Amino acid sequence: MPIDRMKRGLAAAVLLASMMALSGCASSIADLGSSDASRPKEASGYLPVHDLPPDRSEQAMPPSEQAKLEGELKAARERQETAAAQNAAAASDVAGANIGAGR
């Protein structure tokens, strides 16, 4: 008798698995035949790669303003470099003082 139960359970499991597999196919097949106008069709899930924006009619930034901004950036970089050098020198002085004091 236990063998009959095993066969019946195996048959039920195979039937359940095949039903689940076929139900996944049914949902995609159902969408193919519908011509329902109330539901809009989705165009595509991909971005339009070849659609480029129109060319600009004017420059993004005039050359004089660009030169001014570049000068400001160079000045800011030099200020940061000098501040970093001063901080490094102060840190090495403190470290040297701590070593000399025996700390």
Least confident of 6-10, 55-59, 97-101: 97-101
CA 101 to chain centre: 53
The Cα 21–Cα 44 span in angstroms is: 27
The Cα 91–Cα 86 span in angstroms is: 9
DSSP assignment of 8-23 equals HHHHHHHHHHHHHHHH
pLDDT at 35: 58
User: CB within 8 A of 69, min separation 6: which ones?
Assistant: 61
pLDDT of 66-92, one tens digit each? Answer: 999 999 999 999 999 999 999 998 888
Top-confidence residue, 83 or 93: 83
Domain boundaries, the chain: 65-103
Q: Which two tokens mark 99? A: 């070593």
Compute the average pLDDT of residues 53-57.
Answer: 83
Q: Is the model's pTM score more than 0.75?
A: no
